[in-house]
Structure 1
Amino acid sequence: DVAQTGWYRFTLPPAMFPKIKPGFDDLRIHATGNDSTEIPYLVRIAADETTQAEIKAEPFNISRQGTTLFFTVKLNRVEQINLATFRFEQDNYDATVTVEGSNDQKEWFTIQTGRIIAINKTPVNYSYNRISFPNTEYNFLRFAVTNNSALTLSQVSFYQTKTTKGSFSEAGSTLSTRIIDKQSELMVQFDQPVLVSRLSIEAARNQLFYRNVTIDWVYDSIVSEKGTHYQYQPLYSGVISSFKQDTIGFAPQVVTKLRIIIYDQDNPPVQVNRILAWSPQVEILTHLQPGTYEVKYGNPKVFAPHYDLEHFVNELPDPLPELNLSSELKPEQITVPESTPWFKNKLWIWGALAVIVAILGAFTMRMLREP
């Protein structure tokens, strides 16, 4: 029950996802007892929200010692830096970056160490040229970039990033693997239908790899004498590498089985220890009057609604009070009276016998009257 007028949010339970159309197109909110008027709503699916603001800082004291490149930046106390991106004149490198902090440029303390890499050799075109580090109170930062051969800095940019983590839950699954025609096929079977929007592929350590990968989901299956044939639709295509094993994100989809293909070419297969799948929290945002409401779904004949509310996302208050959904109510069953054959109805039988007796009696009387 809603006690007062205002904006509210409520979370959709995971058990509801397999029953809702993709994109939540069939979701409707009505006041109890009033199916004629829809209540507009917005769907908010959990995701990490990152803001990034560029901070102006010019490098100075650029120098080189052997194959290590050094440069320093002076920090602004108002706008702190926690991310740096690099561009070099060289197209290919595999370098280690050490970030140090100091207040007097005499004594330096290590803050972070990371790896940057660029490969520009057909057919591979890959780069990871950034390093993140904690916010710091030092007056100066010094970067030491060590490569097999000397690098020439062409540009460095600095940023302040802030990330708000979304709410996700791990989806239980089992993993099976097979190697077919220089491809590693990994099948992820979920315990039940689940809404998934990201995967973490955890490879065994001490492997060097850069592989193309595709992720498909099973949307149908056909059973024949030769077995079960699965039909797939694509979710994601990209690259995985040992340089940086990020979590892969894609559009949320309700799935029961995923197929991941790693294209090994002439390389040994990547040893994958496990695959973690993450289900996002889905919230409904809506403006309600005092009263009780029903959330309806599962109608295959309806299409996605179009509400003006989608143009005013940034004007909604935050945070919103949360409502709790009651247990699921099953649709009312319409009972159709069973039709009874006339020959099973006693009134019809006695009526028919009376008519037969009357007809026989009439014929008998007529025959007796005839000479």
Structure 2
Amino acid sequence: MMLKQKIKLTAIFILGALGLKAQTNQFQYQRDLKGVTTNWHSLQIPNQVFKKANAGLEDLRIYGIKGKDTIEVPYILEQSANQVTERETSFNIINQTHNQNGYYYTFQASVAATLNQIRLSFKQANFDWKVALEGSNNNTEWFTVLKDYRILSIKNNNTDYQFTQLNFADAKYTYFRICIKANEQPELNAAKILKADTLKGIDAAIPFSGYQLQNDAKNKQTLVDINLGDIVPLSYLKLNVQSDFDFYRAFKIEFATDSFKTDKGIQYNYAPLYEGTLSSLEFPEFRFKSTLVSRLRITIENNDNKPLRLNSIALKGPVYELMARFEKTDYNYALYYGKKEAVAPSYELKNFENKIPMEMTALTVGEEKINPAFAAPKIEKPLFENKLWLWCLMGIIISLLGFFAYKMLNS
């Protein structure tokens, strides 16, 4: 009886140890986490992790180890990108008139609301007009909101660009009146008045060693190549450009997906990241979905115009943060990653985000090291590359040949 109990306890011990190893041995890298003192903590993912982790970060895990025991820590992954909300206000156009000063459109909001944006759409495809915007609460006394504001639309074989959005400081009026100074009757297709709010996230500046600029006269383009070094999440780019005249240039941002060697050196394949227009009317900063990149190419279409002067470039990316719930504080915790074809975990935390504390103590994330329990997946060799199978097969063939030879001699 005692022997059976010992065997059973030994089996449990072995299975427990194997279970511990099985949980962590598929992750190639780990970083120790220091400072676990309560149930809730946050930790910022170092940029160096993106180079070794999967592109979608599905392989991130937090494990705690104490002796032969191991526990998995549930978390929620968040990125600190800007969050933009828009609240549209319904309205009626109560007047459309004109005089020697221009063409007037008066909007009456259904309720007096704070607004900061009016989006206009016109039937005309090509125009360059100046706009004045006024506000009133009684349709009698008017106050200036915008003066000599420029709206523009250009559509031809080389350009398709519109800037017809009025941006202004928060203003609360029942009536808004637009005066358009134009030589023809503007044909207003649609208008929206709204309040746009941006909840500022935490953007981290992305350093880079420099950029290479090439003005390609043959293709009438300016090419800007930026090497970021490490793989980092990018969601913001600002181009400080100058010109002696107003400008509007189509441009695109691409990121390198892979590279290959040629007689002319290393070349790169690129995938699209953002397309838009560089204009002297708009602030030259652009936001897009966070993407892991290590090299960028910016292409500016100059057509027959003089290339723009590029003064500087600024890059930013969101901060990725894990908010984790620790059940025990006396375990040794680590962040694990580097598992190919990993599936993102599904934790119940995502259904109870309203119960997660707003303030958390940040953990210290250690340096990257190889996970000592990591076991590289074995590559199964084809059947006929296995020497044992070959010897067995040869033995069977020789036995069969001998059997048939014996039968033939006795027949």
Task: Provide TM-score, normalisation by structure 2.
Answer: 0.70
Specify the SS of the correspondent of 1:82.
Answer: strand
Specify the SS of the correspondent of 1:24.
Answer: coil
Alignment equivalent of 1:305, drawn from 344, 365, 381: 344
Question: What is the CA–CA distance in structure 2 between the aligned matches of 1:202 and 1:250, rounded to whole Å?
Answer: 18
Cα shift at 1:197: 1.8
Which one has a bigger Cα radius of gyration? Answer: 1
Partner of 1:241: 278
Partner of 1:143: 178
Q: What CA deviation, in whole Å up to 9, does each residue of 1:344-363 have, x standing for no partner? A: xxxxxxxxxxxxxxxxxxxx
Alignment equivalent of 1:96, drawn from 118, 130, 140: 130
Question: What is the CA–CA distance in structure 2 between the aligned matches of 1:130 and 1:318, rounded to whole Å?
Answer: 39
Partner of 2:152: 117
Partner of 1:178: 214
| Equivalent pair of 1:41/1:307 in contact (CA under 8 Å) | no
Q: What CA deviation, in whole Å up to 9, does each residue of 1:312-333 have, x standing for no partner? A: 3865646242422243263466
| Equivalent pair of 1:67/1:147 in contact (CA under 8 Å) | no
The AA in structure 2 aligned to 1:9 is S
Specify the SS of the correspondent of 1:312.
Answer: helix
Q: What CA deviation, in whole Å up to 9, does each residue of 1:249-296 have, x standing for no partner? A: 334334343211223333332332222111211111333323246343
Cα shift at 1:30: 0.9
- Pairs aligned (count): 332
Please state if 1:286 is matched with 2:324: yes
Question: What is the CA–CA distance in structure 1 between the aligned matches of 2:158 and 2:257, rounded to whole Å?
Answer: 32
Change (3 A) 1:75 1:5: same
Specify the SS of the correspondent of 2:91.
Answer: coil
Cα shift at 1:169: 2.1
Change (3 A) 1:179 1:329: closer
Partner of 2:360: 321
Q: Which moved more, 1:164-173 or 1:151-160?
A: 151-160
Change (3 A) 1:61 1:212: closer
Question: What is the CA–CA distance in structure 2 between the aligned matches of 1:67 and 1:316, rounded to whole Å?
Answer: 58
Change (3 A) 1:330 1:88: closer
Partner of 1:346: none
Cα shift at 1:29: 0.8
Partner of 1:352: none
Question: What is the CA–CA distance in structure 1 between the aligned matches of 2:335 and 2:348, rounded to whole Å?
Answer: 19
| Equivalent pair of 2:74/2:349 in contact (CA under 8 Å) | no
The AA in structure 2 aligned to 1:98 is A
Please state if 1:58 is matched with 2:92: yes
Unaligned runs of 5+ in 1: 335-371
Cα shift at 1:303: 1.4
| Equivalent pair of 2:243/2:308 in contact (CA under 8 Å) | no
Superposed counterparts of 1:185-334, under 5 Å: 185-190=223-228, 193-222=231-260, 226=263, 228-242=265-279, 243-291=281-329, 292=331, 294-309=333-348, 312=351, 315=354, 317=356, 319-328=358-367, 330-331=369-370
Specify the SS of the correspondent of 1:22.
Answer: coil
Change (3 A) 1:306 1:330: closer
Question: What is the CA–CA distance in structure 2 between the aligned matches of 1:308 and 1:269, rounded to whole Å?
Answer: 52
Unaligned runs of 5+ in 2: 1-34, 374-411
RMSD: 3.2
Change (3 A) 1:308 1:192: closer
Question: What is the CA–CA distance in structure 1 between the aligned matches of 2:276 and 2:301, rounded to whole Å?
Answer: 10
Specify the SS of the correspondent of 1:198.
Answer: strand
The percentage of aligned residue pairs carrying the same residue is 22
Question: What is the CA–CA distance in structure 2 between the aligned matches of 1:112 and 1:234, rounded to whole Å?
Answer: 40
Question: What is the CA–CA distance in structure 1 between the aligned matches of 2:206 and 2:38, rounded to whole Å?
Answer: 36
Q: What CA deviation, in whole Å up to 9, does each residue of 1:102-141 have, x standing for no partner? A: 4554543322343322334345433332212222244543
Alignment equivalent of 2:51, drawn from 6, 18, 28: 18
Alignment equivalent of 2:162, drawn from 115, 127, 130: 127
| Equivalent pair of 1:198/1:250 in contact (CA under 8 Å) | yes
Partner of 2:117: 83
Cα shift at 1:301: 3.1
Question: What is the CA–CA distance in structure 1 between the aligned matches of 2:47 and 2:165, rounded to whole Å?
Answer: 37
Question: What is the CA–CA distance in structure 1 between the aligned matches of 2:291 and 2:190, rounded to whole Å?
Answer: 40
Partner of 2:379: none
Specify the SS of the correspondent of 2:49.
Answer: helix
